[in-house]
Structure 1
Amino acid sequence: MKKTIFIAIATLLTASSCTKEFDQMNVDPNNPTSLGPQFLLPYALETSIDRSWGGRTRFERLNLDGAMLWMQYLSRNIYSNEGDNYGLSPAFYNNNWKALFNDGLVNYQRIITLAGQGGKFQNTNYEGIALVMRSWTFSLLTDLYGPIPYTEALKGTTDAPIYSPAYDSMEKVYAGLLADLKTANEKLTVGGPAVSGDILYNGDILKWKKFANSLRLRLANRQATKKAAESKAIMAEILGDPTKYPVFTSNADNASLKCTTVLSSSNELFMVMVNDSRTDWNMSKTLVDRLTELGDARLTIYAQPNKDGKYLGHANGLPDAIATTYLGVSSNIGNYFIQQTAPEVLMTFAELNLILAEAAQDGDISGSAQTYLERGITASFDQYGLKVTDAYLKTVGAATKEKIMEQKWIALFGQGLEAWTEYRRTGLPVLPAKDPRAVFENDGILPTRLPYPGSEVSLNQANYEKALTLIGGKNDTQAKLWWAEK
């Protein structure tokens, strides 16, 4: 009898013990309930950078069917109504808004929460990297749309969740981004905690610091005519202490996504033009003609010769009946850009020097605008394995605002969104008169912003309507944004 009771008690104790640790015993290590930063980071990097560089989905290709056409790098030989004539599908501005917020920003914010003080995976280097990329993505969004949800954004899962975030002015967004980039530089610690999943810099924290400070210079320069004293102070702070605030010093520091031969992480231009066999684009006559006039060797990288061995482009905005006749005549984009492993670029040493050239020309920093201009040109040539000649530098001539911005336009080939922002900000370079055969929508006005998505009207209407008052009251593609100088 005693033996029977003992067995019963032992069985109950065993059952109680199993129940007490049930949640621990039944955790599947192959299906984690919360992801660490090393898993969130590569996904966020790839999805957000892919959006800016190419975008594979038709009617959503920010770069190919938007900025690369508007800045007259490329032209369409068919479907001119998909961007080349300034017409936009609602998917273009609806789905890119959604993707940049949901795939990019939400995940960068998760990393900041997880890696920050008191987080489950406390690590200042993950936190700093996510701050840099959150700032880059927010800068992309505000430069595309204008005022955006910023201060109250990304708070849907906080203790006091905000589901209808207010919009902030571009001035306020820029102030926040510039502050966050300074904080990121402080968080990033060379020799500090290790990171993995970094498909941009492979865990090189010094290069992340350089990107943070170079990006801060980009934004400070971009707002310089609106907030002159603050911008000068930021640039002086960074340039005055290269040890504390390192910046790009060569093309080895360029911020670019390392693409692979695995299709899911291949260069987006390869995916569209090679893997998907799309032949809708040729080179724009504007770019080809200008590089030919300058004797610019970058033309051999940016474009392929046509069947006759010549570099030719055709005008933007031509209706399909005319544009299709150029399919086998105009040059295609250069082979460099459609390789499977070609990098997707965020910022380069060449751009940094051309930013500094403009700042020096405007009197915002000390130093020679001519020296920075020539360094920028040299870096751009070097980026593609080319060597700039004294003859070319002589052809470009003395530094002026116009020449600096033209060289920035040339150097930003591939980075259509950045070139479009610089054009909207300065009105440079001066683009040629429209071809008389071209037919444009949008009253013939090159788009100045993207419309807010329809989801904001239905889900965040009161704040959406307040945002419109900051840009003239209309949700169109003609409003000038805050940093516009003219």
Structure 2
Amino acid sequence: MLKKLAYITLFAVSLTSCSDTLDEINKNPNATETPLAPYLLTGTLKQSADLYWGDVNNFNSSLLFVQHWAKIQYTEPDRYDVSNTSFTSLWNTGYATLITDLNTILNFPADQANSNYKGIALTLRSWTFLLLTDAYGSIPYKEAGLKVTPAYNTQKEVYTGLLEDLKNAQDLLGVGNGAVTGDLSYKGDILKWKRLVNSLRLRIALRISDREPALAKQAAIDATSDAAGVLASNNDTFKFTYTSSPQQNPASAWFETRDDFRISKTMVDKLTELTDPRLPVYAQLPSDASVGKYVGGANGLSNSDANSQGFAKTSKPGTYFLTSASPAVIVSYSEVLFNLSEAAARGYIAGDAEQLYKDAITASFNQFGITNATVISNYLNQASVKYDAANYAKSIGTQKWIAFFGQGLDAFTEWRRLDYPVLTAGPATVLDGKIPSRFFYPGTEQSLNGTSYQAAIAVQGKDLLTTKLWFDIK
């Protein structure tokens, strides 16, 4: 209880200026409904954004694996020279903080959390479990939060269980089911939460598509035929908008005191090849004005070789991503359109896969402030951008990889699933020319939950960065 009181006090003090929603909560201390659920929701959203966009799981790991960013010094993570202490943040915060607090909301009586709070909590818990299984594979799911040493479920079991959880979340959510405060993402707009639920259901349908096509097809139909629909515009994008220190974007906070990342040469080269107008959004010109063009840092170099590229002669990630108020986009409208395109290409749903692909690219451009119709049309009409129905995975995979810039965890998952673009490990990497296929389990699992851990790896495979997960069949 003391922990929860401290938690509530922290957010009451530090976030009262973040939104009108919190101001309203603070003005009503005598409300009949306890403010615990709103504050837990606020805290979960903030910590989820920090976890997803922060250094450990994003720009110091998954963004390097998918070659969005590169290290120009301290290159060990970019060479995959890491250990089972390197990926504890996603696991520990996911279980000990996010899932624990969301379960608290789910377990509240009705007078402490109405049906909409519980629907939102179940949605966010499902998203958290999805991140965990995408990164590690088999994870504690059914027994998580119920036992000290929970059994692991296979990735198939987790994905299918989450489809049911999200169906239940959809049933809990309703515009007449009570007001929600403390929601810094959708401001209590339940229709947007319902669209997010269906968008996550569609995402999972594609995760299982190469293993369970019949179930995937039904899940895609269910998600897209639900009356609420999926995300319908960039205004529906699920994101957390930061403000100023200490509630600032984690990448912005990092670059205030450090200078060890650059945009990857792989990304710069691809954007340059395509004359992609997102390049000046994704990258800054080198500080040495004599360079005069965008120059990415190569991935997987030794410290000395990385340093020798020149701090002033290489491009930092764009200021769009490095300002205090840069938003943490978690589920974008662009991603949903790409997913609809793929679902149509696979024959799961009706629709024009090519047009949805074009719409997805357009939505990404719009997301980053590029709205000129001629610029967009010229880009889409390039031979190297046009949709290839004979290889939709290449078209969608490449453009989704570009659109996911900065969203390392999901870019990493989709790159493994679609196998495009083709990436090559850097020259000083330590996995015999391979790029990681997963995160290590935290070392504490071996000591604190050893029986379950051993049972999991006996089925999934050795606890190595190169062990492919269930969804990743190629």
Q: TM-score range by the shorter chain?
A: 0.7 to 0.9
CA separation in 1, counterparts of 2:362 and 2:202? 20
**Cross-structure match for 1:79:** 74
C-alpha contact 1:284 1:315 (8 A) present in aligned 2: yes
Q: Deviations over 1:293-341 (max 9, x none)?
A: 1010001100011233311112101111111122111111000001111
**Cross-structure match for 1:152:** 143
Aligned length: 431
**Cross-structure match for 1:44:** 44
**Cross-structure match for 1:299:** 279
CA separation in 2, counterparts of 1:469 and 1:120? 45
* DSSP-derived class of the 1:226 partner: coil
**Cross-structure match for 1:462:** 451
* DSSP-derived class of the 1:265 partner: coil
1:313 equivalent to 2:299? Answer no
**Structure 1, unpaired ranges of 5+:** 1-28, 56-60, 156-161
CA separation in 2, counterparts of 1:467 and 1:264? 39
CA apart distance, 1:456? 1.2
Given the alignment, which residue of 399, 403, 407 partners 1:411? Answer: 403
1:389 equivalent to 2:376? Answer yes
**For residue 207 of structure 1, what is the amino acid of its counterpart?**
K
**Cross-structure match for 1:97:** 91
Given the alignment, which residue of 76, 97, 115 partners 1:124? Answer: 115
Q: Deviations over 1:203-233 (max 9, x none)?
A: 1111111111111101111111111111111
- Distance change (3 Å), C-alpha of 1:105 and 1:119: same
C-alpha contact 1:185 1:245 (8 A) present in aligned 2: no
Q: Deviations over 1:358-394 (max 9, x none)?
A: 2222222221110110000000000011035221101
- Distance change (3 Å), C-alpha of 1:292 and 1:97: same
Q: How does the TM-score come out when normalised to structure 2? A: 0.88
1:135 equivalent to 2:126? Answer yes
Given the alignment, which residue of 458, 467, 471 partners 1:483? Answer: 471
Cα RMSD of the aligned pairs, angstroms, is: 1.6
**Structure 2, unpaired ranges of 5+:** 1-28
* DSSP-derived class of the 1:286 partner: helix
Given the alignment, which residue of 70, 84, 101 partners 1:107? Answer: 101
1:330 equivalent to 2:314? Answer yes
- Distance change (3 Å), C-alpha of 1:426 and 1:389: closer
* DSSP-derived class of the 1:452 partner: coil
CA separation in 2, counterparts of 1:182 and 1:369? 26
C-alpha contact 2:90 2:132 (8 A) present in aligned 1: no
Given the alignment, which residue of 162, 173, 178 partners 1:188? Answer: 173
CA apart distance, 1:119? 4.6
**Cross-structure match for 1:217:** 202
Moved over 4 A (4+): none
C-alpha contact 2:114 2:178 (8 A) present in aligned 1: yes
Q: How does the TM-score come out when normalised to structure 1? A: 0.86
**For residue 363 of structure 1, what is the amino acid of its counterpart?**
G
CA separation in 2, counterparts of 1:485 and 1:372? 25
CA separation in 1, counterparts of 2:132 and 2:425? 29
**For residue 51 of structure 1, what is the amino acid of its counterpart?**
L
**Cross-structure match for 2:417:** 425
Superposition map of 1:351-390 within 5 A: 351-387=335-371, 388-390=375-377
**For residue 258 of structure 1, what is the amino acid of its counterpart?**
T
CA separation in 2, counterparts of 1:179 and 1:257? 26
**Cross-structure match for 1:226:** 211
CA separation in 2, counterparts of 1:202 and 1:35? 16
CA apart distance, 1:199? 1.3
Higher Cα radius of gyration? 1
**Cross-structure match for 1:251:** 234
* DSSP-derived class of the 2:400 partner: helix
CA apart distance, 1:443? 2.7
CA separation in 1, counterparts of 2:179 and 2:43? 18
**For residue 287 of structure 1, what is the amino acid of its counterpart?**
M
* DSSP-derived class of the 2:87 partner: helix
C-alpha contact 2:105 2:113 (8 A) present in aligned 1: no
**For residue 463 of structure 2, what is the amino acid of its counterpart?**
N
CA separation in 2, counterparts of 1:51 and 1:145? 15
CA apart distance, 1:86? 1.1
**For residue 109 of structure 1, what is the amino acid of its counterpart?**
N
**Cross-structure match for 1:237:** 222
Given the alignment, which residue of 263, 270, 294 partners 1:283? Answer: 263
- Distance change (3 Å), C-alpha of 1:48 and 1:389: closer
**For residue 44 of structure 2, what is the amino acid of its counterpart?**
A
- Distance change (3 Å), C-alpha of 1:35 and 1:168: farther
**For residue 268 of structure 2, what is the amino acid of its counterpart?**
V
Given the alignment, which residue of 217, 242, 252 partners 1:270? Answer: 252
CA separation in 1, counterparts of 2:393 and 2:47? 35
CA apart distance, 1:441? 1.4
**For residue 111 of structure 1, what is the amino acid of its counterpart?**
I
CA apart distance, 1:347? 0.6
Task: Pick which of 438-447 and 348-357 moved more.
Answer: 438-447
CA apart distance, 1:289? 0.6
**Cross-structure match for 2:60:** 65
CA apart distance, 1:434? 4.5
**For residue 482 of structure 1, what is the amino acid of its counterpart?**
W
* DSSP-derived class of the 2:292 partner: coil
- Distance change (3 Å), C-alpha of 1:142 and 1:397: same
CA separation in 2, counterparts of 1:267 and 1:299? 21
